[in-house]
Structure 1
Amino acid sequence: MPKRRTDFATRFLLRCFACWAVPLLFVVLLIAAHPDDTGQTSWYEDDAALLVMAGLALMSLLGVTAHCSLDAGAACLLMNMVMQLLMVFTFLNGAPLLPPASPALAAAPASPALRGVERGAGAEGQGRISVVLPCLNETHFAVQTVQSFCNRTPSEVLQEIIVVDDGSKPPLSIELQKRVDPRCRLRVLRHEDGPRGLMIAKQTGGDAATGEFIGFYDCHVAPRKGWHAETIQLLQAKSRRLVIPMIGALNIDTWDEIPGGGFVGKCWVNFNADWWWYDDESDYTPVISGGLVATTRSWWQESGGFDPGMHGWGGENTEQPIRTWLCGGDVLRAKSSVVAHMWRTEADKRTIARYKIRERYDNVARTAAAWFDEFLPKFRSGQTPNVDVTKTLELKKRLECKPFAYFLHRFRKIYLKSGMLPEKVFRIRSRSTNMCLQRRDRAYVLTDCSGGTWFHRANMIPPGFPQAESLSRLVAPRPSSPNRLVSCGGHQAMGGCDACPQGHGSEWCNADCKWVFAVCLSHQEAAKVATEPAETCCSGIREWNSLDCWAGLTGKGPETALCDVTGHSTSQQFIFDADGHIWHGTGECLGVKDGGLKKGQCATAEQWDMLEAFEPFETKTYKAAVVKSDPQNEPRRGRPRIDRAQVKM
């Protein structure tokens, strides 16, 4: 073949490869690497993706039509391929393809509302609620959530639904604009430089809300019909208030509440600003679990929304309610306001978060530094938070907020009656070995007492819990009643309550009888061993400065679980008797065998001592706060009125 024809064929093949095959390969890779949160590709909905593809087509056209010699053509083709690589790499790494129109636009917190989508009806928003949904990379979930709020909130109550797009790719407005009806009064605000984090997204939405009330909810929830009624009613009764719903579980296939599922709502907080669920008969709650809460626009503006120094995710669920409690407000749950929430789980990949936190922020430390006052040394064993909370301290002064002791006293049922302000802290020593219990992983071992774990008695006393001095009655012989017929619930037994269990446990000991620490007693006998009503603490054993309590007794000793402060978990019921035995609710006691731990019969079990007991700092500080605010004198401004009689430990 002539050389000239060979050169032409070579240049032609190189151009085909560089300008057709490679761009086509890039386009395929771009489509495959650009799924939405449902796993389906959505490149055609993303302006940036379309711009990249248009650029690839232009580069291809220029490369094909260029007339170059073989040498020059190679350089042109190489430059062409480099430009293609740069464009695709820039897009896939999330960098903006074009600069913002102006510095002011780049700094703006949000973009305008969608074209053609109705803003909130009524500028004043009187009697209406603005629903704020912070969202990030949850296109399908965002649409479902918006539609569920729209369909289940009366038009005369719904001021607007504000979706704050915290930098999603592709932008959420693309799909929302197509699938959400204008009657939903949707507004979409976007952080072009996001993600900025949950709190900043919520702050953007809250500041933009025009309703009299503002409800903050996650981007993967579905409210029950009528969810708004009690929430709005409670907010109308008091402006300085937060209202949380009852939180159920969401079926993401039907996008509705899972029937018969449990509900959660109330949470408590410890001195490390860690929180956990609990429940009791009161609707007042110390702190909230996360992003599901409503308030009035007036309190949102007066209280400043969120701590401006918080970034990323987490911490606002303790800071915002503590701020409200100490600054003249309260926090309630609305039992008839039900919102189903999607819980993230590895078992269902659809629920996994599609974003990464770029930086770690210690928002919890900000909560402690701003609000714990003289209790701050309890935070992380005295690790002083290195944070600047000047603005929050200025807010405390302006709102004349009370000290943290007021919060502890307001929820003394948690902090006193469940032993979180313990009467004494101690190590637990075996009398036979003179060794102490030490936490190791999820279990305990015996070790030298200098390294023993610190414990205290904890959790509330439930009805019918036995007195320590009465435990010996459970193992003592009782008078026989051979001719007494009793009802054991599902069946009857001749011979009194002792005949009821028959190896089946507490389920076969009810009606005429009662199950007390694995002993079936008549109600009269059970009343003799029960704790007096005045006693409220304690029914368990807790590790000091921890969320963990003993939960269950195995052949290797006690196991642990998050404390049930209400004391209703039978697995967490442990008690010292007068002889030093440690009883579990199963009727067995903690023992020692061959240098390790075991369980066994209480009559012959190991005896234990509470070693080196002392009154801890938090309890002393709380008592000092009570003395400082003597109710017989007019307390200084900002100090809580605390009745000394209520502080008996």
Structure 2
Amino acid sequence: MRTFKQKQSQIQMVNEEIMHDKGAGKKPLEDLKEPALLFPESDLFKNWGKNLTHDEQRDAQAAFEQYGYNVYLSDRLPIDRLLPDTRDQRCATKVYPETLPTLSVVLIYLDEALSIIKRAVCSIIDRTPAHLLKEIILVDDHSTNGSLKVWLVLKPHLKMLIVKHHQQLGLAQARLSGWRAATAEVVAILDAHIEVNVMWAEPLLARIKQDRTVVVSPVFDRVNYYDLNVVQYNPAAHAFDWAMWCMYESFQPGWYSLHDGSLPGKSPAVMGILVADRVFLGEIGGLDGGMKVYGGENIELGIRVWTCGGSIEIVPCSKIAHIERSHKPYARDLSKFMMRNALRVAEIWMDEYKYHVNIAWGLPPKDHGIDIGDISERKSLREKLNCKPFSWYVENVYPALATWKDVVAYGGVNAQKCMDQGPTPGHIPIAYNCHYYHPQHTYYRQNGEFYVGGIKSHKYNDNRCLADPGTGNLPALYPCKEVFHST
């Protein structure tokens, strides 16, 4: 077996061959001039590929535009490449029960590059104990790249299944299809542009064995979309703002007080990649199939799990390398889907807090006119499960969320020109042609605070308030906590 350093050397050699493939008998590399970049503004070539020929650059750029990551390089890297072990050192010493639940792994994809899927499948087979891995299920959400014919590496004991959608149904429906097809005790629902790392499955399965109502997620390391190198990420909670955009956030202080980075940490939500007891996931309603295309379904699941009898944890001893695309190939602008899905989550789950989502998206507090689909079934599910109110979730699970109950007006201040936060850094507001993007978002609260340039979703952040500095100058923008809460 090759060591990690040996495999890294092989990968480096492959990169060098791609970058300098000039053929035998030609001039030494140091005597060759670097070709000019054909796409100097492309994100792909900002940190990679400067020595590719023009034909190679065209091929690499075309594939990058199609997929959102470096397919040209992926096609030339080993399918079974070794990943750096980025776990906390204590993880390697942990011993897990001999008897663990069986596992179905679901990979969902839409127009994914073939070599990326190969690498995901190989990593799962190579790094999951054979007696635990019952099946791999590939869910194709109606890919349009006709050349994609899934390559399968089979072991005699392993069941492989492909589920194909005849039309694009979106992430939530793809995950639902994978869950429905699964037959193992535990289901892991992953993106297809991942590689699982060493002993990724055992800590997740062990935690679910302890408590079947816990939905768990690994820690994601980032795979750069341009050079496919792995960048270590530290454990963090999966969180969100009032617009329902996902984000990383610190765990609660109690986790850090334990001084053990190998321990699971509680999380308000889950970022799509999730592992759960298959039957329990069904008992609480799976995923909301009424979500469209992208976004919101993971936050909806997080709220539902917490308020309906379960919990969510991030497990640091499980690591997965995940490609962060430059762009989604199926939709360059995801905001309209995100907004629609966020409004659906709010209407079903957020009770008196639901208009916070309207404020975050700059919509009227009522009658926003956006079709969020039929929510009767999900409302009935909430009632059937006797779920806690959203106020309980805010107070007990996600107290870092700022509440906006006293916001009485929001929008743009228009008097031929609009009030704008002006240049940043800086604190002088200006009148500017109206465009109504973030710098011109204003909010007025009952306590007299007047925000310019957006409103923050979390208590640990501060807004900028228009205030009189008391020096005889014109009003300016200052941190609101400094202006209104100083002692």
Both proteins in one fold, TM over 0.5? yes
Task: Show the counterpart of 2:132.
Answer: 157
Find the aligned partners of 1:213 and 1:546 in 2 and give their Cα distance.
42
- Contact map agreement 1:222 1:250 (CA 8 A) in 2: no
2:169 alignment partner, SS class: coil
Deviations 1:402-450 (A, max 9, x none): 11111011135413xxxx13797799xxxxxxxxx965367454479xx
Deviations 1:386-417 (A, max 9, x none): 433100011011111111111011135413xx
Give the 3 Å change call, closer, same or farther, for CA 181–547 of structure 1 in structure 2: farther
Task: Show the counterpart of 1:399.
Answer: 385
Kindly provide the amino acid, as one letter, of the partner of residue 286 in structure 1. P
1:217 aligns with 2:204: no
Task: Show the counterpart of 1:187.
Answer: 160
Task: Show the counterpart of 2:119.
Answer: 144
- Contact map agreement 2:108 2:139 (CA 8 A) in 1: yes
Alignment counterpart, residue 376 of structure 1, candidates 340, 350, 354: 354
2:400 alignment partner, SS class: helix
Task: Show the counterpart of 1:268.
Answer: 239
Task: Show the counterpart of 1:294.
Answer: 275
Task: Show the counterpart of 2:249.
Answer: 278
1:608-619 to 2 correspondences below 5 Å: 610=484
Find the aligned partners of 1:398 and 1:210 in 2 and give their Cα distance.
25
Shift in Å, 1:306: 1.3
1:49-448 to 2 correspondences below 5 Å: 127-138=101-112, 139-170=114-145, 174-177=149-152, 180-183=153-156, 185-250=158-223, 257-258=230-231, 261-263=232-234, 265-280=236-251, 281=253, 282=255, 283-289=265-271, 291-345=272-326, 352-356=327-331, 361=337, 362-381=340-359, 382-384=365-367, 386-387=371-372, 388-411=374-397, 413-415=399-401, 420-421=402-403, 439-440=420-421, 443=424, 445-446=428-429
Unaligned 5+ segments in structure 1 are 1-33, 43-124, 346-351, 428-436, 457-540, 549-562, 583-589, 600-607, 612-649
Find the aligned partners of 1:373 and 1:319 in 2 and give their Cα distance.
13
Kindly provide the amino acid, as one letter, of the partner of residue 372 in structure 1. M
- Contact map agreement 2:134 2:159 (CA 8 A) in 1: no
Kindly provide the amino acid, as one letter, of the partner of residue 162 in structure 2. L
Task: Show the counterpart of 2:88.
Answer: none
1:392 alignment partner, SS class: helix
Rg larger in structure: 1
TM-score (norm 2): 0.61
2:188 alignment partner, SS class: strand
- Contact map agreement 1:222 1:256 (CA 8 A) in 2: no
Find the aligned partners of 1:142 and 1:273 in 2 and give their Cα distance.
29
Shift in Å, 1:452: 9.7
Kindly provide the amino acid, as one letter, of the partner of residue 128 in structure 1. T
Hey, which of these two has a bigger chunk of helix by percent?
Answer: 1
Give the 3 Å change call, closer, same or farther, for CA 167–447 of structure 1 in structure 2: closer
Kindly provide the amino acid, as one letter, of the partner of residue 319 in structure 2. V
Shift in Å, 1:172: 7.9
Find the aligned partners of 2:453 and 2:280 in 1 and give their Cα distance.
34
Give the 3 Å change call, closer, same or farther, for CA 366–441 of structure 1 in structure 2: farther
Give the 3 Å change call, closer, same or farther, for CA 441–334 of structure 1 in structure 2: farther
Kindly provide the amino acid, as one letter, of the partner of residue 115 in structure 2. H
- Contact map agreement 2:442 2:451 (CA 8 A) in 1: yes
Find the aligned partners of 2:352 and 2:293 in 1 and give their Cα distance.
28
2:330 alignment partner, SS class: coil
- Contact map agreement 1:244 1:265 (CA 8 A) in 2: no
Kindly provide the amino acid, as one letter, of the partner of residue 334 in structure 1. V
Find the aligned partners of 1:148 and 1:342 in 2 and give their Cα distance.
14
Pairwise CA RMSD: 4.3
Give the 3 Å change call, closer, same or farther, for CA 255–222 of structure 1 in structure 2: farther
Deviations 1:327-361 (A, max 9, x none): 1111111011111111112xxxxxx4433489954
- Contact map agreement 1:279 1:566 (CA 8 A) in 2: no
Kindly provide the amino acid, as one letter, of the partner of residue 236 in structure 1. K
Give the 3 Å change call, closer, same or farther, for CA 391–266 of structure 1 in structure 2: same
Shift in Å, 1:267: 2.9
- Contact map agreement 2:468 2:476 (CA 8 A) in 1: no
Kindly provide the amino acid, as one letter, of the partner of residue 365 in structure 1. L
Find the aligned partners of 1:545 and 1:327 in 2 and give their Cα distance.
37
Find the aligned partners of 2:453 and 2:210 in 1 and give their Cα distance.
38
1:176 alignment partner, SS class: coil
Give the 3 Å change call, closer, same or farther, for CA 592–171 of structure 1 in structure 2: farther
- Contact map agreement 2:224 2:324 (CA 8 A) in 1: no
Kindly provide the amino acid, as one letter, of the partner of residue 375 in structure 1. Y
Give the 3 Å change call, closer, same or farther, for CA 141–235 of structure 1 in structure 2: same
Deviations 1:461-492 (A, max 9, x none): xxxxxxxxxxxxxxxxxxxxxxxxxxxxxxxx
Give the 3 Å change call, closer, same or farther, for CA 424–358 of structure 1 in structure 2: closer
Give the 3 Å change call, closer, same or farther, for CA 412–297 of structure 1 in structure 2: closer
Shift in Å, 1:375: 2.0
